[in-house]
Amino acid sequence: MDSGIAMAGQSGVTFAAADRSPAAWVRVSERVALYLRALGIEDPLHRERLLVRIQQRWEARVSAVPLEDPVEAGIEEAYTLLDTWLCAELDITGEVDALFTARAAVLSGAVPNWTGRFAGVSGESIAAQVRAAGVQPEPEPAPLDMEPSTINLCCHDLGRRITGALRVLAGNEPAAAPPRKEQPR
């Protein structure tokens, strides 16, 4: 097998730091490039620029810890790079809902030319466009007061019944009728 990259997910092969060869990255980059296209990054120049940044992140990750699947690690680095860029572009550090909204806005195609800014080709900020394209949840969250209710898990009752039966079989307790549950009226 060619250093195991193609079968990493199925075989459980772990990739050590030595597997950061240019040949390994070439195979990974083909899949990451397909992922970038699926995200809507069609321009080859934008993809190339992003692949260079993803490769740097991927190589740092490979040198730090062994990887089970280098392709998955490359895709995760692309995803993380997108989130990091969105947080910096919109200044939304720590605002998870705002990040999800921004990601949905750019990936839906509602923000034209976002890929150029993401790739570093365009210097013009698109923060206003991303915010304008973001949708807010409808209706607004409206918490309701609810009375607490007891949840009886079937496994919990089953465990208690089995334990009781084992005690009876062991002779530690006399046999007793199982407790009856009240029927709802």
pTM of the model: 0.64
- Which band of pLDDT confidence, cut at 50, 70 and 90, is reported for residue 6? very low
pLDDT at 42: 95
Q: Sign of the CA dihedral 35, 33, 19, 7?
A: positive
CA 101 to CA 110: how far, in whole Å? 12
The structure tokens listed for 8 are 């990493």
Residue 160 clears pLDDT 80, i.e. is over it? no
Q: How much is the average pLDDT of 44-62? A: 94
Reported as half-sphere exposure (CB side, CA atoms, 13 A), residue 98 has a value of 15
- Which band of pLDDT confidence, cut at 50, 70 and 90, is reported for residue 52? very high
pLDDT at 178: 61
- Which band of pLDDT confidence, cut at 50, 70 and 90, is reported for residue 181? low
Angle, CA 157 vertex, CA 156 and CA 159 arms, to 5°? 65
